[in-house]
Amino acid sequence: MSTQAQSLSPRAVTWARRRRAMARAWRDYRTQRSGMVGLVLLGLIVVLAVAAPLLIDASALSVTQATGGRMEPPSAEFWLGTDETGRSVLALTLWGTRLSLVIGLTATVAAILVGTLVGITSGHVGGWYGWIALRVSDWFMVLPSLVVAIALLAVLGRSVATTVTVIAIVSWSGTARLVRAQTLTVQARPYLERARALGAGHWHQMTRHILPNVLPLVLASATLLVPSAILMESSLAWLGLGDPNVVSWGSILNRASNNGAVSAHAWWYLLPPGLAILVVVAAFMMCGRALEAVFNPRLRGEAP
Partner 1 sequence: MTAHRPSADGSPDRDPSAEQAPAAGTRTAPTGRVTTGFGRYLLKHVSGAAVSLLLVLFSSFFIFRLIAGDPIDQLTRERPVTPEQREAMRAELGLDQPMWNQFLDYITGTLTGDLGTSLQFRRPISELVLERLPATLLLAGTGVVLAVLLGFWIGTRAGWKQGSRFDRAHVTTGLLLYSAPTFWLGMIAILVFARYLGLFPVNGMRSPSTPDEFLPQALDIGHHLVLPVLTYTAVVYAGYLMVMRSSILDEVGADYLTTARAKGLRDDAVRRRHAVPNALLPTITLVFLAIGGIVNGAIVTETVFSWPGLGSLFVSSIFYPDRPMLQALFVLFSSSTIVAVLGAEILYWFIDPRIRKS
Binding site for partner 1 (CB under 8 A): 135, 138-139, 141-148, 150-152, 154-156, 227, 231, 234-235, 238-241, 250, 253, 256-257, 262-263, 265, 267, 270-271, 273-274, 277-279, 281-282, 285-286, 298-299, 302, 304
Rounded to whole angstroms, the Cα distance separating 110 from 113 reads: 5
Output 10 or 144, the one with its CB closest to partner 1: 144
CB closer to partner 1, 109 vs 156: 156
Smallest separation, CB 7 to partner 1 (Å): 38
Q: ∠ CA(106), CA(57), CA(102), 5° rounding?
A: 5
**From CA 104, how far away is CA 81, in angstroms rounded?**
27
Q: In angstroms, give the least distance from the CB of 258 to partner 1.
A: 11
- Of residues 186 and 286, the one with the C-beta less far from partner 1: 286
Least distance to partner 1 from the beta carbon of 107, Å?
A: 16
Q: How far is the CB of 280 from partner 1 (least distance, A)?
A: 8
- Residue 167 Cα distances to 101, 180, 234, 244, angstroms: 13, 21, 11, 17
Separation between Cα atoms, residue 286 and residue 92, nearest integer Å = 26
Tell me how far, at minimum, the Cβ of 93 lies from partner 1, in Å. 13
Which CB, 180 or 209, lies closer to partner 1?
A: 180
Largest CA distance in the chain: 80
Q: Helix, strand, or coil here: 88?
A: strand
Residue among 246 and 266 whose Cβ is closer to partner 1? 266
Write out the DSSP string of 150-211.
HHHHHHH---HHHHHHHHHHHHHHHHHHHHHHHHHHHHTSHHHHHHHHTT--HHHIIIIIIH
- Could you tell me which residues come within 8 angstroms of residue 265 by beta carbon, excluding any fewer than 6 positions away? none
Cα–Cα nearest to 175, from 236, 253, 252, 118: 118
Cβ nearer to partner 1, comparing 141 with 160: 141
Sequence letter at residue 281:
V
Other C-beta atoms closer than 10 Å to the C-beta of 147 total 10
Whichever of 120 and 169 has its CB closer to partner 1, that residue is 169
Single-letter amino acid code for the residue at 147: V
Of 80 and 206, the one with the shorter C-beta distance to partner 1 is 80
Q: How far is the CB of 74 from partner 1 (least distance, A)?
A: 16
CB of 262 to partner 1, least distance (A): 5
* In the complex, least distance from residue 11 CB atom to partner 1, rounded to whole angstroms: 38
